[in-house]
Amino acid sequence: MSFDTLFQAQLDQLKDEGNYRIFAELQRKCGDFPRVQNHGHGQDEVTVWCSNDYLGMGQHPKVVQAMIDTVRTCGTGAGGTRNISGNAYHHKRLEEELADLHGKEAALLFTSGYVSNWAALSTLGSRLPNAVILSDALNHASMIEGIRHARCEKRIWKHNDVEDLDRQLRTLPANATKIVAFESVYSMDGDIAPIREIVEVAEKHGAMTYIDEVHAVGMYGPRGGGVAEREGLMDRITLIEGTLGKAYGVVGGYITGSHALVDFIRSFASGFIFTTALPPAVAAAARVSIKHLKESELERALQRRQVKRLRARLNAEGIPHVDNPSHIIPVMVKDPVKCRMLSDILMDQFGIYVQPINYPTVPKGTERLRFTPGPLHSDDDIEYLVEALKTLWKQCAIAHAVA
C-alpha cells in the first residue's frame, strides 16, 4: 500500500473544505517595500497588504547594512548551539538591548517567537511544582503547543474575560504555582487584552504573568516595548515574550524577565539548549532595528496615520471590517471559498496581495482578509485598494453590514 493515499485523503478533505493552503510566490525587493516581485499567477509586481514586517524595518538601510557588515566579519551561521559555539558578542549585546527594552534584568534569544513560547511555557509548566497554566482561549498555537508539552494542569479562561480568570484562579489550591498566559495584541481580531486588570487579578491570587507581545513590540509604547510599556505595566509582568520577525523585520524570538527566571529557562529549556543559535548577523541587524525604534517615533506615527486612513475609507464605502484599537484591520468574508476567491482576484486583476485567512487559523465561518497598513503604503495605495474592494464587494454581493 502506498502511504501517499493516506496523505492524499487528508489533503483532499482540506481542498473540499476550501482550507487547502496555497502560498504565493513572492520576492521582496530591497528598498521598494511594499512592492514585491510576483513569480506566481497575476501581475509581475504586486503591493503587499498583509505583511507582518509592520514598519518596513526589514529593508531599513541601517538594518540591512548591519546584517551585511556582520556577515563580512563573522560569516553566516553561528556554528552551533550556544552550548557548543559559545555566546557570540552579538547575541549578548542583543539580549542586553532586549532586557533594556522591557526594563527587565535579563533576556534570552530563541530561533523564533514560536520556539520561545513553546520552550518557555513547556519548561515553566513541567518544572515548577504543582504548576497550573491559565491560558486565554485565543492564545497563539505556539503557546498552546508549549502548554500541551508541559503536561501540567491547564485551565482555559474566556478570551479577555478577567472575571472568568478570577473565578478560575479562586478554585486553585494554595500550593499551586499559577501561571497566567495571554497576549497583548491578538493578531487575527486585532483586539488588545485588558493587561492592567489581568495583572491585578493575577497579583491578587499570587500568580505569575506571561505575556506574548509578538504583535506589539516595536509598535506600541514610547520605545516600542509593547502595550505593557505604553500602559506602564512592564515591571508587574513576570515574563515578557516577543519576536524579532515582525515589526523589527528580522527573525528570532526572545523572553525577558528576572536573572533567575531567564537562567532557569536557559538551563532547562530543550528548545533553547539543543538548537543552533541565531546567526550573529541576524542578531546584529535585530539590535540595530530595536535601537532605531527605541528612538524613532516616525515609523509608528506614519503607520498609525495609514491605519486610521484605511479604516475611514472602508467605513465610508461600507466595507465590513472589525473595529479594534490596533493596527490590524480584518475585513470579514465569513466563507473560506469566497475568501480565497477574493484574494485570487485581488492578486490577478488588481496587483494587490492579501492572503486569505481560513480555518484553523480562525474559526470556521469567520474567514477574513487581514490588512496591515504600514508607513510605506501611500495614500494612493490606500485609495487603489479601497476602489478594488468596492468593485469586488459589488460583484460578490457580500453583505455590507459591519461585522
Residue 212 interacts with ligand PLP (CB under 6 A): yes or no: yes
Q: DSSP states of 269-306 as a string?
A: -HHHHTSPPPPHHHHHHHHHHHHHHHH--HHHHHHHHH
**Residue 114 vs 353, nearer CB to ligand PLP:** 114
Share of the chain residues as helix, strand and coil, in percent rounded to the nearest 5: 45, 15, 40
Residue 135 interacts with ligand PLP (CB under 6 A): yes or no: no
**Residue 350 vs 353, nearer CB to ligand PLP:** 353
**Residue 119 vs 132, nearer CB to ligand PLP:** 119
Stretch that binds ligand PLP, among 88-96, 108-116, 172-180, 301-309 (CB under 6 A): 108-116
Dist. CA 51–CA 54, nearest whole Å: 6
Residue 191 interacts with ligand PLP (CB under 6 A): yes or no: no
Residue 245 interacts with ligand PLP (CB under 6 A): yes or no: yes
| 154 is annotated as an active-site residue | no
Q: Which of 146, 218, 249, 253 binds ligand PLP (CB under 6 A)?
A: 253
Q: Which of residues 358-377 bind ligand PLP (CB under 6 A)?
A: none
Instruction: Choose the catalytic residue: 104, 154, 178, 246.
Output: 246
Q: Which of 47, 135, 142, 168 binds ligand PLP (CB under 6 A)?
A: 142
Dist. CA 92–CA 78, nearest whole Å: 13
**Residue 214 vs 342, nearer CB to ligand PLP:** 214
Q: C-beta of 294: minimal distance to ligand PLP in Å?
A: 20
**Residue 90 vs 246, nearer CB to ligand PLP:** 246
Dist. CA 182–CA 136, nearest whole Å: 5
**Nearest in space to 221 (alpha carbons), one of 287, 300, 292, 291:** 300
Q: C-beta of 245: minimal distance to ligand PLP in Å?
A: 4
Coil, strand or helix at 24 = coil
Q: Which of 18, 113, 225, 226 binds ligand PLP (CB under 6 A)?
A: 113
- Name the residue with the smallest CB distance to ligand PLP: 113
**Residue 144 vs 302, nearer CB to ligand PLP:** 144
Cβ proximity of 133 and 268 under 8 Å: no
Cβ proximity of 371 and 381 under 8 Å: no
CA 134 to chain centre: 20
Q: Which of 95, 136, 183, 381 binds ligand PLP (CB under 6 A)?
A: 183
Which DSSP state fits 192?
B
Residue 169 interacts with ligand PLP (CB under 6 A): yes or no: no
Q: DSSP states of 43-70 as a string?
A: -SEEEESS-S-TTSGGG-HHHHHHHHHH
Residue 218 interacts with ligand PLP (CB under 6 A): yes or no: no
Dist. CA 148–CA 320, nearest whole Å: 36
CA 70 to chain centre: 26
Q: For binding to ligand PLP (CB under 6 A), which residues are involved?
A: 112-114, 117, 140, 142, 183, 187, 212, 214-215, 243, 245, 253
Catalytic residue IDs = 246
